[in-house]
Chain A
């Protein structure tokens, strides 16, 4: 992923995505599957709205007191025997992790799925330092082999079909071609088992961090999260600061909402609650645990008008229902996080100058708001960013001048009436000059404006 270009090529990417028929087919299949699964999973939940209210209130409280919860988490995790590091930005996090690993001579690294590690572009940095970094989540394993980035925060290889994965495995792993997902999964299991058992260190993310106890919570299905946190002698976890929950008593609400929203499961196969490294008398846990708390702009977001995006628990439900995401897939967004939550976070984390084209990647239909389990006001936040885009003069100059002119005309009844008459009179000319494009998209103005017909 490129971090240098001046602005994300969202429109160009979209045009390309629209012509990519395997991608369109994969996204259509995904959209249909996700919708049904999610609805089925929530159907038996008695008081879903109350559950969402509770989860939303917990996240509000976390944001209102974030520095306090982060400090409390750091103190609790330290007491439990972990070493807690704070990283101000992406490069800070990369340096800390590279140093922890290289100081201990770690060469072979197995990774659990972590979007925050994607955000800081950790892998390439560790590889440049001479380490072998192996993604172990099946979807991440596939895209790492292909040299791609995730196109979905939960299902990273959602843009690929089984034949593409089959060919990739046959090419790279030298196994006979198969397109059976179960067989492909077995192939990955065998290849990765060896990596787990010989790894010097595991690097993971975390879905939640519990302030009272200093626990990390990992919600997974495959078991790679369990492997990474229990098999290698050294475990490094990277997470962004807003992932705090006050106490373990708050966790059940999120364990009920996150898997249902993400994959339509009542609960995931595995939920690991890791509190510190292995202690005397323990037979489980890494001997050493390092936790890197990443800020990377969160403190600034917290102080601004878009702070509610930090309530997000990364379930991906908003992208699964988004008509834009469902059409173009995740890569078109051009950075780590796609979909409604992604375009907001990307704009805030990378700046309006770079990300302003993304602010238009929404129809504001509100489907995302309807499914968000923690009630992030996604549509309002996108609207707010659009206002900022105009205010900071990143909108298209023609559009801006047009809107300013319309504003002046609409502000004066006499000018507005004149405009209406002119529009009616000159419409045939506009149509003739503008061609099919204008005529096809715009309705013809009425010959007699409504204002004149209604007394």
Chain B
């Protein structure tokens, strides 16, 4: 699969799973996208660890250090899977995977070069010594426990936005 095909397939499948999808080509675009997606003055958790996170964190006027108190988490995630439109979140490097779970809105930034074609490719890459927590995220939190009727936002985010950079 070519890089462009892989990115297109990932975004298509993520959108099918009810994630908001955005594709940007430079830092200016990324910041503009975040301004559109996130209410800038809401309590935002942004770890500010990766170079991308350090660039974007200055946007948010109300940054909080406790993700449980945030309404939005903006973070760069470990990677993605094209086959299923899935985000891969890893605890590697001291990342708090649950930060993408507690707030009602999760904004995940994915680098184009971090997309795996398939589930097999991901697990081949992590099978030696997996991190303490590896979580695959496909769309927002959902349930069909009442009359098999889809409801969004049970315990995890009711809104998931993905920005591909």
Chain A, residue nearest B148 (CB): A33
Chain A residues within 8 Å of B102, by CB: 231
Residues of A within 8 A of B140 (CB): 269
Chain B residues numbered 35-51 whose CB sits less than 8 Å from any CB in chain A = none
CA of A137 to CA of B156, assembled, Å: 12
Answer whether residue B139 sits at the interface, using C-beta atoms and an 8 A cutoff: yes
Which of A252, A269, A270, A278 lies in contact with B120, CB distance below 8 A? A252
- Cβ–Cβ < 8 Å partners of A269 in chain B: 17, 137-142, 156
Q: Which of B123-142 contact A (CB under 8 A)?
A: 123-124, 126-127, 129-142
A409 within 8 A of B: no
Residue pair B132, A271 in contact (C-beta under 8 Å): no
* Complex contacts, B68 vs chain A, CB 8 Å: 197
Q: Chain A 121-156, CB within 8 Å of chain B: the 1/0 string?
A: 000000000000000111100100000000000011
Query: A137 — which chain B residues lie within 8 A by C-beta?
Result: 145
Q: Tell me which residues across on chain A come within 8 A of B127, comparing CB atoms.
A: 212-213, 247-249
Q: Is A165 in contact with chain B by the CB < 8 A criterion?
A: yes
- Taking the complex as formed, is A272 at the interface, i.e. its CB lies under 8 A from any CB of chain B? yes
Count of chain B residues with Cβ under 8 Å from any Cβ of A?
A: 50
CB contacts (< 8 Å) of B152 on chain A: these are 182, 185
**Cβ contact within 8 Å between A136 and B142:** no
Q: In the bound complex, how far is the Cα of B137 from the Cα of A223, in angstroms?
A: 10
A158 interface contact, C-beta 8 A: yes
Contact with A along B138-156 (1 / 0, CB 8 A): 1111111111111111111
Which residues of A lie under 8 Å from residue B134 when comparing CB positions? Answer: 272-273, 275
- One of A80, A231, A249, A271 near B124 (C-beta < 8 A): A249
**B13 to chain A: which residues have CB within 8 Å?**
266
Q: Is A224 an interface residue (CB 8 A)?
A: yes
Is B57 interfacial (CB-CB < 8 Å)?
A: no
Which B residues lie at the A interface, using CB under 8 A?
Answer: 13, 16-17, 68, 84, 86, 91, 93-98, 101-102, 118-120, 123-124, 126-127, 129-156
Q: A227-B155, A249-B123, A266-B13 are in contact. List 11 more A-B contacts (CB 8 A).
A: A222-B142, A222-B145, A224-B155, A230-B97, A249-B120, A267-B17, A269-B141, A271-B135, A273-B134, A273-B135, A285-B91
A interface residues with partner B (beta carbon < 8 Å): 26, 29-30, 33-34, 80, 136-139, 142, 155-158, 160-162, 165, 181-182, 184-186, 188-189, 192-193, 196-197, 212-213, 215, 221-224, 226-227, 229-231, 247-249, 251-252, 255-256, 263, 266-279, 281-285
* Interface CB pairs A-B, < 8 A, 7: A33-B148, A155-B144, A185-B154, A229-B133, A248-B126, A252-B118, A269-B142
